[in-house]
Amino acid sequence: MKATELTLTTAVESLPGVDAAAAAGLRRMGLRCVADLLLHAPSRYRRTRPWQQLEQVAAEAATDTRDEMVVRGEVVSIDRGFGRSSKVVVVIEDESGEMDLVFFNQPWIRRKLHPGMRLTATGQARVYRKRAQIANPTWSLLEPSAPLVPPTSSEGPAVLTPVYPASDAVSSDALADIIERILPDATALLEDHLTDAYRTDRNLPSLRVAYQHLHRPEFEEQMLAARRRLALDELLMLQLGVMMKRYHRHTHLQAAPLPRTPEVRQRIAARIPFEPTPAQQRVMDEIGDDLASSVPMNRLLQGDVGSGKTVVAVAAMLQAVAHGKQAALVSPTELLAEQHDRTIRALLRDAPVRIALLTGSASPAQRRDLLDQIAGGEVDLVIGTHAVLTSDVMFRDLAVAVTDEQHRFGVRQRAALRSKAADETRSPHQLVMTATPIPRTLSLTIFGDLDVSVIDEMPPGRSPVETVHVVPSAANGVYEDVAARAHRGERTFIVVPLIDESETGLTDLNSHLERLSTGPLRACRMAAMHGRLDAAERDDVMQGFRCGETDVLLATTVIEVGVDVPEATLMVIEDADRFGLAQLHQLRGRVGRGDMPGRCVLISEPRTDEGRRRLEAMVETTDGFRIAERDFEIRGPGELFGARQSGMPPFRIAALPRDLELLGLARRDAEAWIADDPLLTRPEHGLLRRRLLKAHGTWLGLGDVG
């Protein structure tokens, strides 16, 4: 193919040097055309120093360099190493000194190499028992007469070789070849969406140069500058998208203003059966002020499990109802929706508020009936699961929408709620509640358009849940405690990871129920709760546990979020190392919600190091923010928490928190641009705007902006 024919959409099949097998392999990696290849960034670079004499390499080996060294030498001796593993030690020398080449699990080396042969070898050098060595080098034989002294002075910068994410079908080296071949022509096709002036100002290479240097840097500085440019690009696009959206919300979207008159305040206060904590009061004020405005609220409420978010939600919803408008409360599970329905009906017992529970369990006829009432305005407050969001649900006048326990932060779901408003420019006020603290790095990025309120104190009289780790062989003592509590009228949750028996050997609900109810918990009244029960069965089981007909509830993680039974004092978690840290913390939050102190017992023989660290974190702290930090440490910064579920495309080059400083820069620049050209409609922003909408338009719901 002639260079002139190459375009960014040229298919990989028609590239020089790519045969059918390689093309198929590329496609399986999602690399379909030239543009995909350009965007396929190296995960790292191998750094190789030019050939140096052995003495110098030995000196380098004593430093902690990770560069690869190239050496040449004559074989002096070949020996089997000591120890159990197969190891061959080849000593080579040149004029300056000697060095060991160590081959693990390659016994055939002893037949290939003989004293007097000359070879060149490449690999990382290190010092082991005072001798310089390269372990498992790549090597090849040289002519017997090959020189062993490098031609000129050996000092020089390392050569960088890209290492690509690869597959069995296409190796990193094969990718490097393919990309190198198209690189000059492909980069020449790139148009920059950042102006020269901006690039000069920020000292950024052009897009062409950046991609050239990303794939084939001559010096480390070039690679770093390329990465900086491309990472800033990603962060800038994201920030521009988020701010465009914010601008749009403030200028184009209208919500019903719901002023907090003294009368409204009084009516809400009358419904709350206890004195709000100062933290609850503060966030109720923040939310109350937002609701009074015609700019749609977009607020995240963070508060640890048990901090009392429900009444805050109720207050917000009542502010809508007081103005004759509707409100909705959306929960992640039916169980939680059902519980909210019960709690809120009790709170609003004597108030003229019409409440409907809408979940996936409603029969088609019931559902149709409810939908009519919601559309007709005969219902003030709709409590439900995400089923509430399906497209056939229309509200007469939805003014406040609350999403509870949203640790998945579906931005799309929030967009769906917005579209429930009567016309495109109307939006309900939105409140998202979560017990999972969001790292600041994240709230700055994808939730940059979200205001945040925090409940940072617990209602009075709570003592932290005492948490212990018990090995399975000591579990009988735990069950004795369960039985003793039942005898005193206290209740226990026992959580297992599975419903049915499986080959994993993990505790399953069915066998465990059988074992406990015929064994250590013979004297207790037990019931089981899991995701396969229908709404009526669930209701029966929960009701029995709540009113004390059941002492022990054996459950799967369906009870993870929100379940509120104040008499439950003990949480036993079987195979606890199998649960995520956030999940364990949520489960623990199910006990100690009343006057009596709670206890959480983690039964487990941890099978992995991570599992063990999760249990340690649980025993060490009950603070949700510390738990979240620990979770971040244990899982590593690999995936930005919650980002995937939001629908945000993953970063290709940027990484947080590593690029936090660039994020700050992106944020400042994006703010200035949007202040100046809010929807990026100026001609010089045309390309930027197109690329921005392509990357972020859908998940951010910028459709009506474009």
Contact residues toward Mg ion (CB under 5 A) are: 562
Does residue 213 belong to the site contacting ligand ADP (CB under 6 A)?
no
Considering the complex, state which of residue 311 and residue 587 has its C-beta at the smaller distance from ligand ADP. 311
The one of ligand ADP, Mg ion, none whose footprint includes residue 459, by CB under 5 to 8 A per kind, is: ligand ADP
Does residue 278 belong to the site contacting ligand ADP (CB under 6 A)?
no
Exactly one of 167, 171, 254, 277 binds ligand ADP (CB under 6 A); that residue is: 277
Taking residue 589's Cβ as centre, other Cβ atoms within 10 Å add up to 25
The beta strand positions in 471-567, using DSSP E, are 491-495, 526-529, 552-555
Nearest distance from C-beta of residue 309 to Mg ion, angstroms = 5
With beta carbons less than 8 A apart as the criterion, state whether 671 and 213 touch: no
Does residue 311 belong to the site contacting ligand ADP (CB under 6 A)?
yes
Return the DSSP state at 74. Answer: E
Considering the complex, state which of residue 562 and residue 592 has its C-beta at the smaller distance from Mg ion. 562
d(CA 603, CA 599): 13
Exactly one of 290, 334, 508, 564 binds ligand ADP (CB under 6 A); that residue is: 564
d(CA 29, CA 179): 15
Strand 491-495 and strand 568-574: pairing?
parallel
Residues contacting ligand ADP: total by CB under 6 A = 18
Considering the complex, state which of residue 564 and residue 575 has its C-beta at the smaller distance from ligand ADP. 564
286 membership: H or E segment, kind and range:
helix 278-291
With beta carbons less than 8 A apart as the criterion, state whether 681 and 69 touch: no
3-state secondary structure of 599: strand
Q: Which amino acid is at 405?
A: E
Considering the complex, state which of residue 169 and residue 351 has its C-beta at the smaller distance from ligand ADP. 351
CB-nearest residue to ligand ADP: 308
Does residue 280 belong to the site contacting ligand ADP (CB under 6 A)?
yes
CA dihedral 421, 422, 427, 431 (to 10 degrees): -30
Does residue 598 belong to the site contacting ligand ADP (CB under 6 A)?
no
For the packed helices 535-547 and 334-347, what is the interaxial angle rounded to 10 degrees? Answer: 60
Nearest distance from C-beta of residue 495 to ligand ADP, angstroms = 17
Exactly one of 137, 296, 306, 642 binds ligand ADP (CB under 6 A); that residue is: 306
Interacting positions 456-495 with ligand ADP (CB under 6 A): 459
Given the rule CB under 6 A, which of 274-282, 650-658, 668-676, 690-698 is the region that contacts ligand ADP? 274-282
Which two three-digit tokens encode residue 485?
């509590």
The one of Mg ion, ligand ADP, none whose footprint includes residue 586, by CB under 5 to 8 A per kind, is: none
With beta carbons less than 8 A apart as the criterion, state whether 204 and 232 touch: yes
Considering the complex, state which of residue 126 and residue 282 has its C-beta at the smaller distance from ligand ADP. 282
The one of ligand ADP, Mg ion, none whose footprint includes residue 467, by CB under 5 to 8 A per kind, is: none
With beta carbons less than 8 A apart as the criterion, state whether 275 and 458 touch: no
d(CA 455, CA 283): 7
Nearest distance from C-beta of residue 508 to ligand ADP, angstroms = 28
Nearest distance from C-beta of residue 400 to ligand ADP, angstroms = 17
Using the Cα atoms of residue 94, residue 97, residue 103 and residue 109 in order, give the sign of their dihedral. positive
| Alpha-helical runs (H) found in 489-623 | 509-518, 535-547, 581-588, 609-620
Exactly one of 87, 593, 599, 696 binds ligand ADP (CB under 6 A); that residue is: 593
Residue among 345, 336, 516 nearest 435 (CA): 336
d(CA 325, CA 402): 14
Nearest distance from C-beta of residue 456 to Mg ion, angstroms = 16
134 membership: H or E segment, kind and range:
strand 131-135
Nearest distance from C-beta of residue 339 to ligand ADP, angstroms = 9
Nearest distance from C-beta of residue 332 to Mg ion, angstroms = 11
Given the rule CB under 6 A, which of 298-306, 324-332, 380-388, 616-624 is the region that contacts ligand ADP? 298-306
Nearest distance from C-beta of residue 413 to Mg ion, angstroms = 17
The one of ligand ADP, Mg ion, none whose footprint includes residue 212, by CB under 5 to 8 A per kind, is: none
Q: Cis bond leading into 332, ω under 30°?
A: no
Considering the complex, state which of residue 206 and residue 343 has its C-beta at the smaller distance from ligand ADP. 343
d(CA 301, CA 456): 11
Does residue 307 belong to the site contacting ligand ADP (CB under 6 A)?
yes
Nearest distance from C-beta of residue 465 to ligand ADP, angstroms = 13
Considering the complex, state which of residue 53 and residue 333 has its C-beta at the smaller distance from Mg ion. 333
With beta carbons less than 8 A apart as the criterion, state whether 167 and 29 touch: yes
Residues 6+ apart with CB under 8 A from 218: 160
Does residue 575 belong to the site contacting ligand ADP (CB under 6 A)?
no
With beta carbons less than 8 A apart as the criterion, state whether 93 and 54 touch: yes
CB-nearest residue to Mg ion: 562
For the packed helices 309-321 and 334-347, what is the interaxial angle rounded to 10 degrees? Answer: 70
Exactly one of 122, 310, 427, 467 binds ligand ADP (CB under 6 A); that residue is: 310
Nearest distance from C-beta of residue 564 to Mg ion, angstroms = 7
Q: Would residue 626 be called left, alpha or beta, if left means φ above 0 and alpha means ψ between -120 and 50 degrees?
A: alpha
The one of Mg ion, ligand ADP, none whose footprint includes residue 497, by CB under 5 to 8 A per kind, is: none
Interacting positions 440-459 with ligand ADP (CB under 6 A): 459
Return the DSSP state at 16. Answer: T
Nearest distance from C-beta of residue 405 to ligand ADP, angstroms = 8
Considering the complex, state which of residue 485 and residue 593 has its C-beta at the smaller distance from ligand ADP. 593
Nearest distance from C-beta of residue 195 to ligand ADP, angstroms = 48
Q: Which parts of this chain interact with ligand ADP (CB under 6 A)?
A: 274-277, 280, 303, 305-311, 435, 459, 564, 566, 593
